[in-house]
A and B are shown apart, each in its own frame.
Chain A
Amino acid sequence: MAEKRKSLIKIKPKKFKDGEVVKVSFMVMHPMDTGMGKDKKTKKIIPAKYINSVKFNYNGKDITTMTVWESLSVNPVFTTYMKINGKGKLTVTYTDNTGEVHEKSKKIKPKG
């Protein structure tokens, strides 16, 4: 359960002003097993393991919530837009169908 997963939050453009609408993408290394694939060596079915839900939280407010099924590709990327509204923290949380929870946050500092 306590596997460490790499994740990343990217904001485009890198330098932004207050009130600007920016592109936010969240990437995570996750197997996203459907529960239908087989291990080629052991010939056993790999149990399902996929991300259930993703939450984008900015300054304590849920901006975007996603419900996800197994049809998303391995190492998924979630990209949406977001309006910058002052200094703060963006936290992205995902939960897994096996109960795994992962959190990643990034400080937001608008310039000018």
Chain B
Amino acid sequence: MQRRDFFKKLGAAAAVTAVIPAMSFAADAKPVSPNKLDAKSAMDAITGGKTAKMSKAIKLKVPEIAENGAVVPVTVEVDSPMTDSDYVKSIHILAGKNSNARCIDVNLTPENGKAMLATRIKLGGTQEVIALVALSNGDYIMASQSVKVTIGGCG
């Protein structure tokens, strides 16, 4: 009889432990980002439906493994003469799996002299970081790199 009781208690305890995390998960439901946007629609919004070509003119510098997702340094450099007739119009950084994929848009002018942007972004998990560049002749080029994130940085 003792053995039977023991199993009964064990079962009850297992049921309780199974229920508790489920309840706490329900209470911890993540709030939705005010401007939710996935990477594809974000890219369409920037390019207006045009397809962006992969290009080696963009140098995207992101660490392959980011220990802390809250601070990930990103550097985008574009080979461009930056003259009045041929310059980089804008640089966009997108993070594919963040709830809002758009991180930053930078509009440049020929007065910049060099097309470069460096910032630090937050990454919610392992994902691809995309650099989308608009040229003055209306073309779009892009480069991407996947980043492994050990601790997610988005709240």
Contacts and interface: CB of A to CB of B under 8 A. Distances in A.
Does B bind A?
Answer: yes
Contacts of A73: 70-72, 119-122, 153
B48 interface: no
Interface in B89-138: 95, 98-109, 111-122
B24 to A, nearest CB: 12
Contacts of A81: 112-116
B45 to A, nearest CB: 12
Interface residues of B, number: 37
Given A34-B154, A36-B99, A71-B95, A80 B33 contact: no
Contact of B119 (A48, A63, A78): A78
Contacts, number: 112
B120 to A, nearest CB: 4
B50 to A, nearest CB: 19
A83 B71 contact: no
B155 interface: yes
A68 B72 contact: no
A92 B23 CA distance: 48
B31 interface: yes
Contact of A37 (B102, B105, B112, B155): B155
5 contacts: A36-B99, A74-B71, A77-B118, A78-B118, A83-B113
The 10 closest A-B pairs by CB, nearest first: A37-B155, A21-B113, A81-B114, A83-B113, A79-B118, A73-B120, A71-B103, A67-B105, A73-B71, A65-B107
Given A25-B118, A70-B100, A71-B102, 16 more contacts: A21-B114, A33-B155, A36-B33, A36-B154, A45-B31, A58-B111, A63-B109, A63-B112, A65-B106, A68-B105, A71-B95, A71-B104, A71-B154, A73-B121, A74-B71, A80-B106
